[in-house]
């Protein structure tokens, strides 16, 4: 056990989400004193039995952020809005940009030792040739796609780097890849399992991703707090064997549950048109669309990132795609999800 005198105290924003839940569990295992924050009314089922302090706050309101940061040594800023419904874009920017600035300002005020900011591999773009990229060669090239999530995460990082450049706050950036694993109760990539099981997945998107294990990303975040280099960004995504087209990933997920894989890969133009139709329908029904044009353009790109730097400096591990899928399924089945 870690003695109380040396226990590091931290705040985790977005602690009730997919990555946040994994991070909270890992922090507890490693003996940290954890304050876990989620939006008012958010689900705490998967962290409520841990020896942690659960608080609720709206990060878009500075007065709510200040007290949850006070008294902490480190802040893991995981909270973000990942939606892609056009009517929520203004709110998404408020959360992802303004909320991040509120957290940063509170960190400065309370002399936080380090802010570990959960960014995304999206801020490093993609290689149009279909090749891979890393922290040095990648650059944002999703501009003018209507991909609001990526645009807002890029803006948040640029703003945070201003604090680093002014030497007012120690910030380290984590760029997660396409995560899969336990605690995906909101059905991010995990949603694919259920669609495959129901036969609702006739075709795959045309792009590809850099797939990784969410628990390993969480562990790398903790290492970033302890030994990451100030101002540095770390891709916590895949390796060449985990950088695969969506069609390949979905086929492996289908195999794991005994379902039929998608038979086709949708051409980009058709996929974007489908996103446009979904957006039009959403305007009529006032229900969130399954896709929108910006998301469709984004998912048509090959995002094949390399994680060598995180592997070398943060002891980041990249299990095989099959291991990631198996761990996700084990968690779903142990928690009452029927696949």
Average pLDDT over residues 97-116: 98
Do residues 205 and 266 make contact, with C-beta atoms less than 8 angstroms apart?
yes
Report the CATH number that the domain containing residue 78 is assigned in CATH.
Answer: 3.40.50.720
What is the tens place of the pLDDT at every residue in 207-255?
999 999 999 999 999 999 999 999 999 999 999 999 999 999 999 999 9
Number of separate domains in the chain: 1
Instruction: Kindly state whether residue 249 falls inside one of the protein's structural domains.
Output: no
pLDDT (tens digit, 9 = 90+) per residue, 200-215?
888 999 999 999 999 9
Say which residue, 73 or 2, is predicted with more confidence. 73
**Out of 22-26, 71-75, 80-84, least confident range:** 80-84
Domain residues for the domain of 110 are 7-183+211-237+305-321
Structural element, H or E, at residue 132: strand 132-133
| 200 domain residue, yes or no | no
* pLDDT value of position 7: 83
The pTM of the whole model exceeds 0.85 = yes
Would residue 246 count as lying in a domain? Answer: no
The answer to whether residue 32 sits within a structural domain is yes
What pLDDT score was predicted for residue 3?
46
Asked if residue 84 belongs to a domain, the reply is yes
- The CA distance from 304 to 281, in Å, is 32
Is there a domain that residue 252 lies in?
A: no
Tokens describing residue 53: 């302090």
| CB under 8 A, 24+ apart: contacts of 54-58 | 54/15, 57/13
Residue 188, in any domain of the structure: no
Task: With respect to residue 116, please indicate whether it lies within any of the assigned structural domains.
Answer: yes
Helix, strand or coil, per DSSP, at residue 150: helix
- How far CA 13 is from CA of 40, 76, 221, 274, in Å, comes to 12, 6, 13, 34
Count of residues making up the chain: 339
Name the residue among 126, 127, 115, 118 with its Cα closest to residue 82. 118
């Amino acid at each position: 056990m870690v003695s109380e005198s040396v226990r590091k105290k931290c705040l985790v924003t977005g602690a009730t989400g997919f990555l946040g839940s994994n991070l909270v569990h890992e922090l507890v295992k490693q003996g940290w004193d954890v304050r876990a924050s989620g939006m008012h009314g958010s689900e705490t089922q998967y962290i409520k039995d841990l020896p942690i302090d659960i608080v609720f706050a709206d990060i878009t309101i500075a007065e709510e952020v200040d007290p949850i940061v006070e008294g902490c040594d480190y802040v893991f800023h995981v909270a973000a809005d990942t939606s892609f419904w056009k009517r929520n874009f203004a709110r998404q920017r408020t959360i992802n940009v303004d909320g991040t600035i509120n957290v940063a300002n509170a960190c400065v005020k309370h002399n936080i030792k380090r802010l570990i900011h959960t960014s995304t591999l999206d801020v490093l773009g993609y290689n149009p040739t279909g090749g891979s990229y890393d922290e040095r060669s990648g650059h944002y090239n999703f501009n003018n796609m209507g991909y609001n999530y990526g645009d807002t995460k890029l803006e948040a990082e640029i703003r945070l780097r201003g604090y680093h450049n002014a030497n007012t706050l120690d910030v380290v950036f984590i760029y997660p890849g396409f995560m899969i694993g336990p605690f995906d109760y909101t059905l991010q990539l995990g949603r694919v399992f259920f669609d495959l099981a129901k036969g609702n997945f006739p075709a795959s998107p045309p792009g590809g991703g850099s797939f990784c294990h969410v628990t390993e990303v969480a562990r790398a975040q903790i290492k970033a707090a302890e030994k990451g280099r100030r101002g540095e960004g770390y891709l916590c995504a895949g390796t060449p064997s985990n950088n695969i087209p969506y069609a390949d990933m979905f086929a492996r997920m289908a195999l794991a549950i005994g379902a039929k894989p998608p038979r086709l890969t949708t051409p980009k133009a058709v996929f974007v048109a489908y996103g446009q139709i979904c957006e039009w329908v959403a305007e009529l029904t006032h229900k969130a669309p399954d896709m929108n044009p910006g998301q469709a353009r984004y998912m048509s790109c090959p995002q094949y990132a390399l994680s060598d730097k995180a592997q070398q400096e943060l002891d980041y591990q990249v299990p095989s795609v099959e291991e990631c899928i198996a761990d996700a399924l084990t968690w779903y089945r142990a928690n009452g999800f029927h696949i």
